A = this chain, B = another copy of it.
Amino acid sequence: MVERDTREHARREPASDDATAAPRGRPGRREKNKEDKLRRIKDVARELFVSKGFDDTTIRQIATRADVGLGTVFIYAATKRDLLFLIANEGLDEVASTAAASVDPEAALIDNLLGVFGPHYAFFARQPELSRLVLREMAFYDSGAQAGSFQKTREALIELLGTIVRHAAERREIATDEAPQFVGWTIFCIYQVELRRWLSDGTIDLESGLDRLRRALMLLIRGLGSGSGTTR
């Protein structure tokens, strides 16, 4: 309990009122407001999750390195899983927005789809370890505030896919009885499992991953009825 005071604890200065005596960490723990703590917890957690893995990182380690109490971590994340989503949600929302903005109602269906999935793949490729963890923990996880946010983003994606399909139908690029929403869902199914497979097999190559996804999506668009894409 004493030997871990080698941490950066040097913040207990009362600071008095002399101007020069405290160039580093000035007042005590006061300046560390909630945002500061959240920031520190997130940063430490991300670093440890990536470097040591999710299971081998303990919340005690995170708390110590973030210079907060053990219980404090649970104020910001209901569970360890939720802590993972807290990190994963950073950037993912932005990716989703970017993807949504890139949709062009006049563009070809496959281009719009890859315009949406491309940024997602790139995002996951940027932090493959974390992504694998997220996709591993994602399935069926529905408790915890951050997990909720994660699922909201996912549902928005499905709806976006439906919208893209609707555009293609309105332009008469495609014509199907099924509701655009349902087609969007089916596309999402393919995306989900393909993404998981891609992240699972060792080398995460963005180009080949997206290429395989394109092949699968083209299969759905063209159907199995005719070969070569050109209707022979």
Contact surface of A with B, Cβ cutoff 8 Å: 109, 132, 135-136, 138-140, 165, 168, 174-178, 182-183, 185-186, 188-190, 192-194, 196, 200, 215-216, 219-229
Contact = CB atoms under 8 A, between A and B. Distances in A.
B136 A219 contact: no
Given A193-B192, A226-B175, A219 B220 contact: yes
Contact of A189 (B193, B223, B228): B193
Contacts of A182: 215-216, 219
A145 B96 CA distance: 38
Given A136-B139, A193-B188, A177 B223 contact: no
Contacts of A193: 188-189, 192-193
B132 A136 contact: no
Counting every copy of the chain, the complex holds 2
B135 A229 contact: no
A166 to B, nearest CB: 12
Closest 7 CB pairs of A and B: A223-B223, A189-B193, A136-B140, A174-B224, A175-B227, A139-B139, A189-B190
Contact of A196 (B136, B139, B229): B139
29 contacts: A135-B139, A139-B139, A139-B196, A165-B224, A168-B224, A175-B224, A175-B225, A175-B226, A176-B219, A176-B222, A176-B224, A176-B227, A177-B227, A177-B228, A178-B219, A182-B215, A183-B219, A186-B190, A188-B193, A189-B189, A189-B192, A189-B216, A193-B193, A221-B224, A221-B225, A222-B223, A222-B224, A222-B225, A223-B224
Contacts of A224: 109, 165, 168, 174-176, 183, 220-223
